[in-house]
């Protein structure tokens, strides 16, 4: 699919996608056959009695639906150095660590070159459709990505993250160049051991190449927001670096200083231009197009837990389109956004039938009453129904329940277009009340309307179940953009409480079986401290997602929240 110039022929990528999705059922059978043939002699499949069979019927009859806990003993053996064919025929040489930001427990997910190939496939597909709607020329991308120059090893197994395993693959740079997505930043900036120094230099590189920047991206929308909030604090120092041609003393990593010295030369004219643009902005609205006049779009995962950040991102973006990118997880990629002009809130993802074998458990089975769960195939799902995704991938996960709930919105040829809804587990529950991540998000959105009336906003939020009181109650933590009066925040608290419309919650609140909801406002920079605490324990900033509920075992995060409370309000909604 390459032209003579070495660039991808994007029309051929789209043609191939159309061909594959028209025959999704047979492509799925072939994908499963290949995975099972290559791993037929593994301990896991042998013990289940599959005996070399590769058809979907035998696979489903012999191989159970499982969660991470079922695979954990096998993966731990691999991490500990067992190179026998446990889950895959070829030894696993790398493991992706999930972020574990909610409960503080990180999962170890097998990674191999086959997963990198599927990553390239999904990048190519998404970019082909994105480039058709938002064509870019040969330019540069300001990509807020962060790797690790020396990932830790346990025996022969590299312990990294899904993102660092992608960025660190020898084929990554060539793949990005083929996608017209050459990063402004040199490798030494991307693979720095200090993400704050990387971030500073990402911006410095972007400003030096400001006329050439045609796209801005990061893995998650949150990372882009974090970057531009940081820019608000650092812009004058960045301008001075450009003016003098001397890198700030805050950059102490020798490899970064060496790399940046090759790019940085005195440029008073550029420095004055950037200073004038920043000084002339009102509340930083439209910052991105002012800094990067030729940017065509801003890209990252913007659905699910990232939706609360869209308003702030649009504030920075002005008229520049926001484009949500691919849909996947640490366990593997799932689907591409083939309709990039659709606003992120309404975006759907078309499942790529060749990158893994997919099954779907109807949500009606997940109420806990069904003894045996039954999953349907990729092409058997129904429009308008919700399902939990089940994944079988080339890196040794078989019938693995991802825990993601999606809704089928339609079909692209014969492959479903899905919308991410939420995680399958309940976020908040004290008695028989049930609240999902979506329920909390809607509650926060409703209550934050009172803040908007006084020109304030919620910067970030999370929740906690306080079992120390009788009866137990929910605590919502907010960081807001500036001070406001008690009357407004008391009304916000009351609205948060009333916005939980689960019948069981309303019943128990009225009869005092659940205590009054509490809103705790935390000081400026609290969620930045949470991010930094997670980075300190090895979570890359590009992978970080603010947990919407902090579990009792995550003592570090809870301590940061408790220590930074500046105001507290108790709901009077049911008094």
Cβ(73)–Cβ(295) under 8 Å?
A: no
**Residue 182 vs residue 410, higher pLDDT:** 410
Listed residue (150, 44, 165) closest to 108, CA to CA: 165
Side-by-side strand order, sheet with 518-522: 458-466, 473-480, 518-522, 565-570
DSSP letters, 161-194, are: -HHHHHHTSTTHHHHHHHTT-EESS-HHHHT-S-
Range with lowest mean pLDDT among 42-56, 60-74, 167-181: 167-181
Share of the chain above pLDDT 90, in %: 61
Instruction: Report the DSSP pairing between strands 213-220 and 140-143.
Output: parallel
Range with lowest mean pLDDT among 136-150, 153-167, 487-501: 153-167
CA 23, CA 31: separation in Å to the nearest integer? 12
Q: Beta-carbon neighbour count of residue 574 at 10 Å?
A: 17
| pTM of the predicted structure, to 2 decimals | 0.85
Q: Give alpha helix (H) positions in 161-320.
A: 162-167, 172-178, 187-190, 195-208, 221-244, 254-261, 268-279, 287-291, 310-317
- pLDDT for residue 104 is more than 60: no
- pLDDT for residue 337 is more than 90: yes
Residues 213-231 have a mean pLDDT of 92
Give the pLDDT of residue 2. 44
CA 309, CA 493: separation in Å to the nearest integer? 21
Residues 348-375 have a mean pLDDT of 88
Instruction: Report the DSSP pairing between strands 297-301 and 322-324.
Output: parallel
Residues 149-160 have a mean pLDDT of 59
Question: Strand ranges (DSSP E) for 352-457?
Answer: 357-362, 376-377, 386-392, 400-412, 415-423
At residue 102 the predicted structure's pLDDT band, cuts being 50, 70 and 90, is: very low
CA 405, CA 427: separation in Å to the nearest integer? 13
Helix (H), strand (E) at residue 18: helix 10-22
CA 40, CA 52: separation in Å to the nearest integer? 5
> Tokens 């940085």 belong to which residue?
264
Give the pLDDT of residue 5. 41
Q: Beta-carbon neighbour count of residue 69 at 10 Å?
A: 8
CA 216, CA 145: separation in Å to the nearest integer? 11
**Residue 267 vs residue 94, higher pLDDT:** 267
Give tens-digit pLDDT for 514-565. 999 999 999 999 998 998 888 777 776 767 788 888 888 888 899 999 999 9
At residue 1 the predicted structure's pLDDT band, cuts being 50, 70 and 90, is: very low
């Amino acid at each position: 699919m390459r032209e003579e110039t070495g660039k991808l022929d994007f029309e051929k990528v789209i043609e191939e996608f159309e061909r594959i999705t028209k025959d999704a059922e047979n492509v799925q059978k072939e994908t499963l056959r290949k995975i099972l043939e290559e791993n037929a002699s593994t301990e896991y499949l042998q013990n289940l009695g599959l005996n070399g069979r590769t058809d979907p019927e035998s696979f489903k009859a012999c191989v159970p639906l499982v969660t991470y806990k079922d695979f954990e003993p096998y993966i731990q053996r691999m991490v500990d150095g067992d190179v026998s064919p446990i889950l895959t025929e070829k030894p696993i040489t790398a493991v992706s660590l999930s972020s574990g930001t909610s409960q503080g427990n990180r999962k170890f997910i097998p990674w191999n070159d086959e997963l990198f190939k599927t990553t390239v496939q999904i990048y190519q597909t998404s970019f082909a459709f994105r480039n058709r709607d938002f064509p870019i020329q040969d330019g540069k991308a300001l990509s807020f990505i962060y790797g690790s120059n020396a990932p830790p090893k346990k025996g022969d197994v590299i312990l990294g993250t899904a993102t660092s395993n992608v960025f660190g693959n020898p084929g990554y740079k060539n793949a990005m160049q083929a996608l017209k997505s050459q990063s402004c930043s040199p490798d030494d900036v991307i693979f720095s051991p200090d993400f704050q120094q990387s971030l500073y230099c990402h911006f410095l590189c972007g400003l030096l190449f400001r006329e050439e920047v045609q796209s801005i991206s990061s893995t998650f929308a949150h990372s882009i927001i974090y970057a531009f909030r940081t820019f608000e604090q650092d812009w004058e120092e960045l301008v001075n670096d450009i003016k003098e041609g001397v890198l700030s003393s805050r950059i102490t990593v020798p490899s970064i200083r060496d790399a940046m010295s090759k790019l940085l030369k005195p440029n008073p004219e550029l420095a004055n231009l950037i200073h004038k643009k920043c000084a002339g902005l009102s509340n930083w609205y439209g910052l991105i197009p002012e800094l990067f006049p030729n940017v065509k779009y801003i890209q990252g995962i913007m659905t699910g837990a990232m939706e609360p950040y869209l308003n702030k991102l649009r504030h920075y973006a002005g008229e520049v389109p926001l484009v949500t990118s691919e849909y996947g997880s640490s366990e593997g990629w799932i689907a591409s956004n083939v309709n990039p002009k659709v606003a992120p809130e309404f975006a759907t993802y078309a499942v790529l039938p060749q990158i893994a074998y997919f099954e779907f458990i109807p949500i009606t089975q997940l109420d806990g009453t069904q003894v045996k769960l039954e999953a349907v195939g990729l092409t058997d799902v129904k429009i308008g129904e919700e399902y939990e995704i089940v994944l079988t991938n080339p890196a040794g996960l078989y019938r693995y329940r991802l825990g993601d709930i999606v809704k089928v919105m339609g079909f692209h040829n014969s492959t479903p277009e899905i919308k991410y809804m939420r995680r399958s587990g309940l976020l908040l529950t004290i008695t028989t009340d049930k609240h999902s991540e979506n329920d909390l998000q809607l509650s926060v959105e409703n209550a934050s309307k009172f803040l908007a009336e006084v020109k304030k906003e919620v910067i970030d939020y999370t929740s906690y179940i306080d079992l120390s009181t009788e009866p137990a109650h929910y605590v919502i933590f907010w960081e807001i953009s500036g001070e406001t009066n008690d009357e407004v925040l008391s009304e916000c608290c009351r609205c948060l409480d009333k916005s939980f419309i689960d019948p069981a919650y309303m019943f128990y609140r009225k009869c005092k079986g659940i205590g009054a909801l509490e809103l705790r406002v935390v000081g400026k920079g609290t969620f930045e401290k949470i991010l930094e605490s997670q980075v300190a324990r090895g979570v890359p900033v590009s992978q970080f997602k603010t947990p919407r509920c902090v579990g009792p075992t995550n003592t570090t995060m809870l301590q940061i929240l408790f220590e930074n409370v500046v105001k507290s309000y108790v709901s009077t909604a049911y008094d």
